[in-house]
Amino acid sequence: MLKFLVFDGDWPAKQWPIRNACLVGADGNAIRADIHFEGGLLVAEKRETGAAAFAIQHQVGDIGELTVQTCLLPEADKPYILNLELARHRLMLLYTKLEEWGMFDLEEDHPVTRRSNVARELFIKALCLQHDSPAEAARIAQQALVAAIDGSEELALAHAELLLNKRKSAGALPKAPIGCGITIEHNDERLKTGLRNHFDFVQLPVPWKAVAPEENGYNWDRMDAWANWAGKARMPVIAGPVISFEPACLPDWLYIWEHDYDTVRDMIYEQVERVVSRYKGVVQMWNIVSGLHVNSHFTFTFEQLMDLTRMCTMLVKKIHPEGGVMIELRQPFGEYYAQNQRSIPPLMYADLVIQSAIGFDAFGLRLTMGQAVEGQHARDLMQISALLDYFAHCGKPLYLTASTPSQPVTEMMIARPDLDEPVDPQSGYWRRPWSEPVQSRWLEAVFQIAISKPYVDAIAWQDLIDYPNIELPLSGLLDEEIKLKESFRRLVGFRQGLRTLEGQQNGQATDGAGNASASLGGGI
């Protein structure tokens, strides 16, 4: 059992929000625990032995409300001070990355150096007070945590800038680094013009639910329209996910067979065969399976999940040997494993896929933040950068898909009361409550961090336009009236910067700030 003191001012807190809380084991995987609040203490009762880290969504001053964690802690009779342990872990992560990235020689006036020094001094001061004045120690440790997270984000961005300049100077940037996802529900010519002018590739969804609303009844018209346009426009296409067990993707009639694995396997085989055979002429990369490791909707066994992964990848290689095959990981921080022991932690699944000699070409990573649903709670930039680094050892290129909302929940609920799943403020936020400026700044920072990594081949924004039943409400780069958001302009400018080497523009018009001018055509 782990216990943590939490304070409201000088006194033990009378209540404390428990959001996105879990324990993390020594292997980095979430572990089962009963977590509750009682009498000024957060209590985590483990169901496993050994040291564990405690993760929880926590308010961290001007940095936002983020999921952060402690170091691995042994059980102790005396409770730990939560803020002190959160600050300890973030300082450890900061110094670990300084060493790993070889950046200990930063100047004294560099923001990383200044913030890390402040965080260290505050942490030492809190340590000295933890026994005599735990409330004061918690207050000072909170300041140390804020400074440490701020410094670690500065470090992540400084490291990204360094790597990105190296990739540029070495001519090692991917040929098609920036893409965007679309919905087959919208087929406006202005969207197609914007995609062709401002993106390197398009992510074309293949929702089984939409193309086969009834068993043995197919409607390919909307898919065909987008596929035909991509072929004529010579627009590279990543298609998929072809198979995903998310409710938005699966047809309702398939649930009749959810406990009959052999029947579901046969239907998946037929679906993959139909889709790949129909669109292999325009698709360069297949996102063939997405999130099977989460296993939160069908009760398949570990062996069955691996069998489905192997079958789908082999079938694509057989039908379309020239096409690439991607296996996508959802909820990459893996909190779901604490609640669902039938699932597979994301990094473990990645390792198993590689060790099983399954034939595929890349991993996909879906990073969605902005709803208080599993896997979509807010994280900081250093956590995202460190997460990407975990995949470096896999030896496979990485394709990232990212998204956040563009409005805070209060404004959105007033403007859009029809949304079934509004953005929930309890999901946390980065720096400020979600808004168009925050979305655009988060986009630029995450895109810079991602594309700087030598093993990342591409990054895409999940949805070009807002639409009903979108996975993350208001996360599009355009609103439903096809008006540009600030994030669209920011992304166009970022892409133009990638295409500019040693100050030489590629001939595209720029605005006064040096960003590429953004338009969709058609008078917008």
Question: pLDDT tens, 190-199?
Answer: 999 999 999 9
Nearest of 271, 207, 218 to residue 471 by alpha carbon: 207
Q: What is the mean pLDDT of residues 491-513?
A: 62
Question: What's at 25, amino acid-wise?
Answer: G
Q: What is the mean pLDDT of residues 82-94?
A: 98
**pLDDT band for position 416 (cuts 50, 70, 90):** very low
Is the model more confident about 96 or about 217?
96
At a CB cut-off of 8 Å and minimum separation 6, what does 1 contact? 43, 44, 45, 46, 75
Between the CA of residue 166 and those of 182, 382, 429, 487, 515, what are the distances in Å? 32, 20, 32, 26, 21
Concatenated DSSP letters of 260-303: -HHHHHHHHHHHHHHHHHHHTTT-SEEEEEESTTT--SS---HH
Please report the pLDDT score of residue 422 as a whole number.
54
pTM for the predicted model, two decimal places? 0.92
- CATH architecture of the domain covering 175-498: Alpha-Beta Barrel (3.20)
**pLDDT band for position 217 (cuts 50, 70, 90):** confident
3-state secondary structure of 334: coil
Helix (H) or strand (E) holding 238: strand 237-239
Please report the pLDDT score of residue 424 as a whole number.
58
At a CB cut-off of 8 Å and minimum separation 6, what does 434 contact? 370, 404, 405, 406, 407, 408, 409, 423
Question: What's at 508, amino acid-wise?
Answer: Q
pLDDT value at 106 more than 80: yes
Long-range residue pairs from 510-515, CB within 8 A, at least 24 positions apart, any chain: 515/489, 515/490
Q: What is the mean pLDDT of residues 196-206?
A: 96
**pLDDT band for position 485 (cuts 50, 70, 90):** very high
Q: What is the mean pLDDT of residues 102-115?
A: 94
3-state secondary structure of 473: coil
pLDDT value at 156 more than 50: yes
Question: pLDDT tens, 332-355?
Answer: 999 999 988 889 999 999 999 999
Q: What is the mean pLDDT of residues 164-177?
A: 92
pLDDT value at 419 more than 70: no
Pairwise CA distance, residues 459 & 453, whole Å: 11
pLDDT value at 290 more than 60: yes
Beta-ladder partners of 7: 12
Please report the pLDDT score of residue 247 as a whole number.
86
Nearest of 49, 48, 90, 50 to residue 70 by alpha carbon: 90
Is 79 within 8 Å of 37 (Cβ atoms)? no
Concatenated DSSP letters of 5-73: E-EETTEE-S-----S-EEE-TTS-EE-EEEEEETTEEEEEESS-S-BEEEEEEE-GGGEEEEEE---B
pLDDT value at 413 more than 80: no
Please report the pLDDT score of residue 425 as a whole number.
66
> For 146-150, 258-262, 265-269, 460-464, which range has the lowest pLDDT when averaged over its residues?
258-262
Is the model more confident about 247 or about 362?
362
Please report the pLDDT score of residue 362 as a whole number.
97
Please report the pLDDT score of residue 386 as a whole number.
97
Please report the pLDDT score of residue 514 as a whole number.
40
**Cα atoms in the 13 Å half-sphere on the side-chain side of 52:** 26
Average predicted confidence (pLDDT) for the chain: 90
Question: pLDDT tens, 12-62?
Answer: 999 999 999 999 999 999 998 999 999 899 999 988 888 999 999 999 999
pLDDT value at 295 more than 90: no
Question: pLDDT tens, 435-484?
Answer: 999 999 999 999 999 999 999 999 999 999 999 888 898 999 999 999 99
pLDDT value at 226 more than 50: yes
Please report the pLDDT score of residue 415 as a whole number.
46
**Domain ranges for the chain:** 2-165, 175-498
**pLDDT > 70: what percent of the chain?**
92
Pairwise CA distance, residues 340 & 460, whole Å: 29
Is the model more confident about 113 or about 374?
113
